[in-house]
């Protein structure tokens, strides 16, 4: 059989709809029933139809908006890297008549998150990138996105709902499991009796808990391999750095195994430097400059890192491919590499 170029007419015939309906679905404009839209998307996928780039651009009288819902950004923090990646992704899709906008919220305030969600919906986006720090607020938000047939991509962490378009980030459970293996590597059971987990005080209503799956992976590994071990949690408040050292006073010399599951292990550096303990192991996450300094100085033993910016770059590009071309990602869950950094290899990372 000779190869035949699939056209919009073939898609319309396969879906049992008009060419105009296919055109409206492709360019995300006008009213189309959910049933018809799903038929068109299924036909596109089955036939392997690829819209002509330039025809799509010419047909797009209005630029499509990709909205990104992120915590407020401060210099040197994890979310600055995510924002940098989003901006790089925005630049890469600008030629497709896709524009982007960041909507920020206070990561310690659920009401601020809800307000930002309302602003996103009011902007009528064609796609949304969301970091789901607040579980209840996110569940409500993505339900409204689904009702409006707006695809959404999770970054950093994800909720286990059945409708997200894609996820870009670490495999959270596996990263916790890996952390436990690294922390206890080559230790005897009698040396793994107590592990100290330092956690961040977040919102007062306890809705924000982005590392919960990571903690589960960590705990499962410890229970499987060191069932007699006790895991204790210490909480510190990053909004009051002057109180952190006082909160850590119980991190005495006999607490040899210490872990933080977020990107702020550098908050422990000053205390650890003033209270050294030979043989202490400290593991944190993410290659922030201050974390790298703590690793280089020996206050931190290992970092489990990732090229953070790639999450948001790929999220934007994936949504743009779908919005313009109807192209779905090969994988729904797209996990970034988990890189293990020590003092010996950080200079080349």
E strand map for the chain: 64-71, 98-105, 127-130, 152-155, 166-169, 194-200, 230-236, 257-259, 281-285, 302-305, 333-335, 339-341
DSSP result, 82-128: HHHHHHHHHHHHGGGTEEEEEEEE-TT-HHHHHHHHHHHHHT--SEE
pLDDT-wise least confident of 72-76, 89-93, 161-165, 244-248: 244-248
Q: Residue 328 is encoded by which pair of tokens? A: 């779905």
Task: Answer whether residue 58 shows pLDDT above 60.
Answer: no
Non-local CB neighbours of 32 within 8 Å, separated by 6+ positions: 21, 24, 25, 40
- Report CA-CA distances (Å) from 105 to 36, 68, 73: 36, 11, 9
User: d(Cα 336, Cα 156) in Å, to the nearest integer?
Assistant: 10
Of the chain, the percentage scoring pLDDT greater than 90 comes to: 63
- Share the mean pLDDT of the chain: 89
DSSP letter (8 states) at residue 251: -
Nearest to 302 by CA among 348, 335, 271, 339: 339
- Structure confidence at residue 304 (pLDDT): 98
**Neighbour order of strands in the sheet with 339-341:** 230-236, 194-200, 257-259, 281-285, 302-305, 339-341
Q: How far apart are CA 127 and CA 306, in angstroms?
A: 25
pLDDT, tens digit (0-9, with 9 covering 90-100), for 72-85: 988 999 999 999 99
Handedness of CA 92, 96, 97, 99 (dihedral sign): negative
Confidence check: pLDDT of 138 > 80: yes
In this predicted structure, what is the pLDDT of residue 2? 45
CA distance 65 to 54: 18
How far, in Å, CA of 315 to CA of 325, rounded? 15
pLDDT, position 243: 81
Name the pLDDT band for 61 (thresholds 50, 70, 90).
low
Residues 243-258 have a mean pLDDT of 82
Q: In the predicted model, is pLDDT for residue 88 greater than 80?
A: yes
pLDDT in tens, 339-349: 999 999 998 88
- Lowest model confidence (mean pLDDT) among 102-111, 124-133, 207-216: 207-216
- In order of 20, 27, 193, the CA distances from 92 in angstroms are 30, 20, 50
98: CB partners within 8 A, 6+ apart? 63, 64, 65, 66, 126, 320, 323, 324
Query: What token pair was written down for 75?
Result: 């210099």
pLDDT at 1: 36
| Residue-wise pLDDT tens digits, 321-341 | 999 888 899 999 999 999 999
Over the stretch 201-231, which tens digit does the pLDDT of each residue have? 887 676 778 899 999 999 999 999 999 999 9
User: Span 14-23, mean pLDDT?
Assistant: 84
For residue 329, what is the enclosing H or E element? none
Largest distance between two CA atoms of the chain: 76
Q: What is the average per-residue pLDDT within 298-325? A: 94
Q: What is the mean pLDDT of residues 159-180?
A: 95
Is residue 306 classed exposed, middle or buried when 0-12, 13-18 and 19+ CB atoms within 10 A define those classes? buried
Work out the pLDDT band at 174, boundaries 50, 70, 90. Answer: very high
Which pLDDT score is estimated for 59? 55
Q: Does residue 183 carry a pLDDT above 70? A: yes
Q: Which residue has the tokens 């309906």?
A: 21
pLDDT given at position 57: 53
Q: What is the DSSP string of 279-327?
A: T-EEEEES--HHHHHHHHHTS-SEEEE--THHHHHHHHHHHHHHHHH-P
Let me know: does 70 contact 185? Beta carbons within 8 Å.
no
């Amino acid at each position: 059989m000779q190869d035949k170029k699939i056209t919009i007419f073939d898609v319309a015939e396969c879906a049992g709809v008009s060419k105009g309906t296919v055109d409206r679905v492709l360019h995300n404009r006008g009213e189309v029933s959910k049933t018809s839209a799903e038929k068109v998307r299924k036909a596109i996928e089955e036939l392997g139809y690829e819209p002509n780039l330039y025809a799509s651009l010419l047909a797009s009288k209005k630029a499509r908006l990709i909205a990104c819902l992120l915590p407020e950004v401060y210099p040197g923090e994890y979310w600055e890297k995510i924002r940098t990646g989003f901006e790089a992704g925005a630049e890469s899709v600008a030629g497709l008549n896709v524009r982007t906008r960041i909507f920020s919220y206070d990561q310690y305030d659920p009401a601020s998150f809800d307000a930002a969600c309302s602003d996103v919906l009011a902007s009528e986006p064609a796609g949304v990138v969301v970091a789901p720090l607040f579980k209840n607020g996110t569940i409500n938000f993505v339900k409204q996105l689904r009702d409006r047939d707006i695809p959404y991509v999770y970054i950093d962490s994800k909720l286990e709902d059945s409708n997200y378009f894609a996820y870009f980030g670490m495999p959270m459970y596996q990263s916790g499991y890996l952390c436990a293996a690294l922390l206890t590597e080559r230790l005897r059971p009698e040396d793994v009796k107590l592990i100290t987990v330092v956690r961040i005080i977040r919102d007062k209503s306890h809705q924000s808990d982005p590392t919960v799956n990571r903690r589960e992976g960590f705990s499962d590994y410890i229970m499987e391999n060191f069932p007699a071990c006790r895991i204790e949690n210490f909480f510190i408040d990053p909004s009051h750095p002057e109180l952190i050292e006082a909160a850590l006073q119980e991190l005495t010399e006999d607490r040899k195994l210490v872990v933080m599951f977020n990107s702020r292990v550098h908050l422990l550096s000053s205390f650890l430097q003033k209270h050294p303990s030979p043989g202490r192991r400290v593991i944190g996450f993410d290659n922030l400059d201050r974390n790298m300094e703590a690793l280089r100085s020996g206050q931190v033993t290992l970092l489990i890192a990732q090229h953070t910016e790639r999450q948001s770059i790929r999220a934007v590009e994936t949504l743009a491919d779908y919005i313009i071309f109807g192209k779905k990602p090969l994988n729904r869950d797209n996990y970034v590499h988990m890189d293990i950094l020590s003092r010996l290899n950080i200079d080349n990372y």
